[in-house]
Homo-oligomer: A and B are copies of this chain.
């Protein structure tokens, strides 16, 4: 018999982990929530930080602030390196902790399909660090392109390659085309819209593979209309500091952004339990690891088949619903045979295309165009974690649409350092195109 309250350890403060901590608010448990960062990130809007429309502070809040009123939650900023399932403990960077229940919600990473050396050149979009890196790359490229307009270097600064035609890649490509070919141009008088090339590369035969075919078609046309060159059925064969190789072709570029492939958190590989082909833990119908009824895996890190035989997608509503489900089990201390199977209620999914269009898919009901975009806007504002962030994001969007100027075009780290390619002649009045 336990004299003290059971301890629940939650790994990860994304949508799943955060929801689990909140759902356990009135449970008679002690909760320790562990995350590598100090903030909860509203990932769906990360591409807007990457394209200077929003600032980090608009879409991230300190975990401690969100859970300030949850008296049974203790927050640790650390990384979980390993889990000893048989000893019921997690190993951190600094120390180890025992648990009575464990909820693993470490999320997913991008997959480079075995080419981890590409990651350095072609970063993904999973964290604020990623988004700011992309932002600085885009802004610096424009500065350099303006400088070297009359040299052959210009092209590589003005080619932007996004790899992956799922929602992230579509949103990123659309936003880059918007700011690159419209919004930012007035600030760079030498550059012309036609100079800027935005490529979206997708291995499949259509974009947004998980959506219906007509929405894929609509998305393709909408992207093309704002100037994105979409290359379907195209595989990336190599990525170097000079550019992207796609079979026999080569795109010279310093701007390569990876939005393809999902792979589970590296933590999963250390558990020593069965995983699927992208590293997700194959969980039972109650979200627990086979043989370990008090250890749950939720969100992107879990592989779950619903009763229709479908894999659940790696989106926020799935993680949130699984978190609520698991918290109920813990709250009621349900033994394994008393746990009903998890059921996902599909609320649909959406993706934006450029500034005022989107596609939305709710089972048989589909929206596209402006109305989908308004729906997308409303839902995302609503789901933002707190009122202050909602106000800030509303303000930023309102300002952007009113003035056509994204609000966060700040380069913090690339401060005028020497550029690898040298200008061949001293810059004269002629070279500068004044």
**Interface pair B186/A415, CB less than 8 Å apart:** no
Partner of A94, one of B79, B95, B129, B419: B419
Q: How far is the CA of A48 from the CA of B226 in the complex (A)?
A: 39
**Interface pair B97/A36, CB less than 8 Å apart:** no
**Interface pair A412/B93, CB less than 8 Å apart:** no
B-contact bits for A87-107, CB 8 A (1 contact / 0 none): 000001111111000000000
Q: How far is the CA of A423 from the CA of B76 in the complex (A)?
A: 14
Total A residues in contact with B, Cβ cutoff 8 Å: 70
Q: How far is the CA of A132 from the CA of B4 in the complex (A)?
A: 42
Q: Specify which chain B residues have a CB less than 8 angstroms from the CB of A129 in the assembled complex.
A: 412-413, 415
Q: How far is the CA of A57 from the CA of B74 in the complex (A)?
A: 32
Whether A411 sits at the interface, judged by CB under 8 Å, is: yes
Partner of A55, one of B55, B186, B429: B55
Whether A167 sits at the interface, judged by CB under 8 Å, is: no
Q: Specify which chain B residues have a CB less than 8 angstroms from the CB of A434 in the assembled complex.
A: 30, 32, 74
Q: How far is the CA of A20 from the CA of B133 in the complex (A)?
A: 32
Find residues 126-142 in chain A having any chain B CB closer than 8 Å to their own CB. 127-129, 132, 139-140
Partner of A410, one of B30, B39, B388, B429: B39
Which of A64, A76, A388, A391 has the most chain B CB atoms closer than 10 A to its own CB? A64
Q: How far is the CA of A64 from the CA of B139 in the complex (A)?
A: 11
Q: Specify which chain B residues have a CB less than 8 angstroms from the CB of A391 in the assembled complex.
A: 395, 399
**Interface pair B96/A415, CB less than 8 Å apart:** no
Whether A361 sits at the interface, judged by CB under 8 Å, is: no
**Interface pair A147/B39, CB less than 8 Å apart:** no
| Nearest CB of chain B from residue A108's CB, rounded to whole Å | 17
Whether A60 sits at the interface, judged by CB under 8 Å, is: yes
**Interface pair A423/B36, CB less than 8 Å apart:** no
Partner of A65, one of B56, B93, B140, B405: B405
Q: How far is the CA of A132 from the CA of B419 in the complex (A)?
A: 25
Partner of A62, one of B55, B76, B409: B409
Q: How far is the CA of A391 from the CA of B396 in the complex (A)?
A: 11
Q: How far is the CA of A189 from the CA of B69 in the complex (A)?
A: 11
Whether A418 sits at the interface, judged by CB under 8 Å, is: yes
Whether A188 sits at the interface, judged by CB under 8 Å, is: yes
**Interface pair A426/B7, CB less than 8 Å apart:** no
**Interface pair B411/A38, CB less than 8 Å apart:** yes
Find residues 60-80 in chain A having any chain B CB closer than 8 Å to their own CB. 60, 62, 64-65, 68, 74, 76-79
| Nearest CB of chain B from residue A179's CB, rounded to whole Å | 12
Find residues 284-298 in chain A having any chain B CB closer than 8 Å to their own CB. none
**Could you list 5 further interchain pairs (A-B, Cβ under 8 angstroms) beyond the known A32-B432, A57-B407, A74-B432?**
A35-B416, A56-B410, A62-B410, A68-B187, A77-B147
Q: What 6 pairs across the A-B complex have the smallest Cβ distances?
A: A64-B187, A95-B427, A36-B416, A55-B57, A79-B416, A77-B143
